[in-house]
């Protein structure tokens, strides 16, 4: 069970709006962070049907007064390092960041406008996936590129999924007392974070949400020289590369499917594309976990969260099988029996503890919104 947040940031209900590239999740949370009502909408080209969204928001408002709306926004850039009350100027500056997160930023801005049209006058708070990583040390955020790029263009590592990493790492510390936590947010997008005493010190995503892990349709890290070669020797345009790396790579590029369930089913066949794809996924996951543990000088707790992290037991066991040198080992029965909520799946005697924690970005957003508007 998740602990409530009564008394944190006031006593107001918050409507949390989590807009992704293919869905919009709406949650009305009371002051104790209990869900009063929920609704999920499909999004086409990043936007749900306006009429359907209007009806959903109105229905949720019947479950309790909406005092604040809290919106997940993927990219805050160098300016928005903390939650912010949204006005026209903030919206304008957020639109300028669309090229850095083309799959998600437009969806968040559309949902922000559409919900505001249904609830005019209700304060709007934007909460950023980049905020949790905004205070990483210089060595973790600096790219070894020309100084003019860093100074004139603001090139640096930002990191993403911060709302999920913040909640999962705090929850892990509450359950275990561990100070050095690696959180693995694994879903259609995927990233890891190294968290020491509640503070992010490193993460796998960078300037955009393309760096790091193999994802559903995104490549994760590839050799930049490969991209230059494709442009100069094979004539691919920047637009073609962008489409390929964001929409046709990752598991989709490896096996033709972005669905991890389908990948796991096919991976049982030796020599299949799915078997190779899953091996590539685990190889990158183990390597990135080890890198995050190195940033922490060791590992107390490993956390799996997100759609794949919570629902794919073979991903958790497969990752753990290659991380024994870090003290990670999972109990097979506990791992297979996970059915939701928060569960420790550590094998008896393992030095590092392993948890599955339900992703609750909604709680993180609601708490931040109340704190900004006490």
The reported pLDDT for the residue numbered 6 is 37
Q: How far is CA 210 from CA 46, 177, 242, 361, in A?
A: 18, 32, 10, 21
Q: Give the whole-angstrom CA distance, residue 195 versus residue 169.
A: 7
**DSSP-assigned letter for residue 73:** E
Q: What is the separation of C-alpha 57 from the centre of its chain, rounded to a whole number of angstroms? A: 24
What is the reported pLDDT for 192? 98
Residue 212 contacts residue 206 (beta carbons within 8 Å): yes
What are the start-end ranges of the E strands in the chain?
14-19, 23-29, 35-42, 68-73, 84-85, 124-128, 180-186, 190-196, 199-203, 301-305, 343-344, 353-356
Residues of the chain with pLDDT under 70: 1-10, 21-22, 44-47
The residue assigned the tokens 């509640």 is 198
pLDDT for position 45: 58
Tokens 């590092």 belong to: 352
The reported pLDDT for the residue numbered 362 is 97
Residue 44: per-residue pLDDT: 66
User: What pLDDT, in 10s, does the model give residues 4-30?
Assistant: 333 333 689 999 999 876 688 999 999
Q: What is the pLDDT of residue 103?
A: 77
Please report, for residues 126, 129, 231, the alpha-carbon distance to residue 83 in angstroms, rounded to integers and kept in the order given.
6, 10, 39
Through-space distance between the first and last CA atoms of the chain, rounded to whole angstroms = 26
Q: Which domains does the chain have, with CATH numbers?
A: 14-128 (3.30.420.40), 162-356 (3.30.420.40)
The pLDDT tens digits of the residues spanning 347-364 come to 999 999 999 999 999 999
Marked catalytic residue, from 30, 33, 129, 342: 129
DSSP state of 330: B
For 45-56, write each residue's pLDDT tens digit. Answer: 556 777 888 899
For residue 49, the model assigns a pLDDT of 75
- pTM of the shown model: 0.93
Are 126 and 84 within 8 A, CB to CB?
yes
Coil, helix or strand at residue 47: strand
List the structure tokens of 315: 């991903």
pLDDT at 3: 38
pLDDT at 5: 36
Q: What is the pLDDT of residue 327?
A: 98
**Residue 71's closest CA among 131, 33, 14, 118?**
14
Which residues are CB-contacts of 364 (< 8 A; sequence separation ≥ 6)? Answer: 127, 163, 164, 166, 167
Q: Are 357 and 171 in contact (CB under 8 A)?
A: yes
333 is catalytic: no
CB atoms closer than 10 angstroms to residue 40: 12
Q: Give the whole-angstrom CA distance, residue 218 versus residue 287.
A: 18
Q: Which residue's structure tokens are 């962070």? A: 33
Residue 233: the pLDDT is 98
């Amino acid at each position: 069970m998740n602990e409530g947040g009564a008394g944190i940031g006031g006593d107001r209900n918050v409507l949390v709006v989590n807009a992704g590239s293919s869905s919009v999740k709406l949650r009305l949370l009371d002051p104790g962070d209990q869900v009063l009502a929920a609704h999920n909408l499909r999004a086409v080209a990043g936007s749900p049907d306006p009429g359907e969204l209007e009806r959903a928001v109105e229905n949720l408002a019947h479950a309790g007064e909406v005092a604040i709306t809290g919106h997940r926004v993927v990219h805050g850039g160098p300016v928005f390092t903390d939650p912010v009350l949204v006005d026209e100027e903030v919206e304008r500056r957020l639109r300028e960041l669309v090229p850095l997160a083309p799959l998600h930023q437009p969806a968040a801005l559309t949902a922000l406008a559409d919900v505001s049209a249904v609830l005019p006058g209700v304060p709007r708070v934007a909460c950023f996936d980049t905020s949790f990583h905004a205070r990483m040390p210089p060595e973790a955020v600096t790219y070894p590129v020309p100084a003019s790029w860093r100074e004139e263009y603001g090139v640096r590592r930002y990191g993403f999924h911060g709302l999920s990493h913040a909640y999962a790492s705090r929850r892990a510390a509450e359950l275990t007392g561990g100070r050095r936590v690696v959180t693995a947010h694994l879903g259609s997008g995927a990233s890891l974070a190294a968290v020491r005493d509640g503070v992010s010190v490193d993460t796998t995503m960078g300037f955009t949400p393309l760096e790091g892990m193999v994802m559903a349709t995104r490549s994760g890290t590839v050799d930049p020289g490969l991209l230059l070669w494709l442009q100069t020797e094979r004539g691919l345009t920047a637009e073609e590369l962008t489409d390929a790396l964001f929409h046709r790579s990752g598991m989709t590029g490896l096996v033709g499917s972005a669905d991890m369930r389908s990948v796991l089913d096919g991976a049982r066949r030796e020599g299949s594309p799915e078997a190779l794809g899953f091996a590539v996924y685990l190889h990158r996951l183990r390597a990135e976990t080890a890198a995050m543990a190195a940033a922490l000088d060791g590992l107390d707790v490993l956390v799996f969260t997100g759609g794949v992290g919570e629902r794919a037991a073979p991903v958790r066991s497969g990752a753990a099988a290659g991380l024994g040198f870090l003290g990670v080992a999972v109990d097979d029965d506990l791992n297979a029996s996970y059915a939701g909520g928060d569960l420790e799946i550590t094998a008896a005697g393992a030095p590092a503890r392993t948890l599955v924690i339900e992703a609750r970005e909604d709680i993180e957003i609601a708490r931040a919104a109340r704190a900004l508007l006490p």
